[in-house]
Amino acid sequence: MSFEVIVFYLFAGLTLTSAFLVIVVRNPVHAALSLILCFFSSAGLWLLLEAEFLAIVLVLVYVGAVMVLFMFVVMMLDINLAEIRKGFLKYLALALVVVAPMILIIGTVASSSYFDMPRYSAAVKQVAGHNNTYEIGKELFTKYVWPFEIAAVILLVAIVAAIALTLRTTRQLKNPNVEQQLSVERDKRIRLVDMGAE
């Protein structure tokens, strides 16, 4: 067994275990941390495929930014485990009805010929100095420039929409006005008074 294979099984095992833990652990914070571990070990797998740009960006974007905000929200939750487990049996039948078609759909897609191993050639080994980032950049800005720009515009719209939805200017704000604070002059606050000795 070569070193690469050992590393692959290490990361693959870690990815599967942590992905499984995301669903089964009771504490949401533990689940979020498992999800982080899952992303991280997937990044390790991508590194083995010599996709270093994608692997690092996965860590940077998902682990470094998205999951931090996730953790932020999850930690604020008031978790009462007894409360969560109470309705388990009551909703079990409904849950099974929802889950069964999902499993069916995923099973059909995953077992279709589209995912047959022979359809995919093994990743081509590149020479040591190969610049993966440069290749991706060139493809994105030449061949896929329109989808790329459209995705950018959609994201911009989403940002504007999210801000517009949460911005409430009618509510009385207690934010201090920093411009006003900075523009204060000494003469407006301090008055020096000459007093004779007593």
Partner 1 sequence: MTIKDYFFELTSWLPLELSLTLWTTVKIMAICVPLMLSVAYLTFAERKIIGYIQARVGPNRVGPRGWLQPIADALKLLCKEIVIPTGANKLLFLTAPILALAPSLAAWAVIPFDSTLVLSDINAGLLYVLALTSLGVYGIIVAGWASNSKYAFLGSMRSAAQIVSYEIAMGFALVGVLIAAGSLNLGAIIRAQDSELGMFGWFWAPLFPVFIIYFISGVAETNRAPFDVSEGESEIVAGFHVEYAGMAFALFFLAEYANMILVSALTAVLFLGGWLSPVEWIPDGIHWLLIKISFFLFLFLWFRATFPRYRYDQIMRLGWKIFLPITIVWIVVISAMVVWKVPPWFANSAI
Give the interface with partner 1 as residue ranges (CB under 8 A). 3, 29-30, 33, 36, 52-53, 56-57, 59-60, 63-65, 68-69, 71-72, 75, 129-133, 175-176, 178
Residue 87: count other Cβ atoms within 10 Å of its Cβ: 9
Cβ closer to partner 1: 99 or 160? Answer: 160
Sign of the CA dihedral with 33 first, then 37, 43, and 49 last: negative
Cβ closer to partner 1: 26 or 86? Answer: 26
Name the minimum Å distance from CB 160 to partner 1: 16
Name the minimum Å distance from CB 116 to partner 1: 32
Q: Determine the Cα–Cα distance for residues 177 and 184; give it in Å rounded to an integer.
A: 11
Name the minimum Å distance from CB 165 to partner 1: 18
Distances (CA, A) of 178 to 19, 169, 171, 182, 188: 46, 17, 19, 6, 17
Sign of the CA dihedral with 102 first, then 106, 107, and 108 last: positive
Q: Determine the Cα–Cα distance for residues 85 and 175; give it in Å rounded to an integer.
A: 41
User: Tokens in use for 128?
Assistant: 């040591």
Name the minimum Å distance from CB 64 to partner 1: 3
Cβ closer to partner 1: 76 or 197? Answer: 76
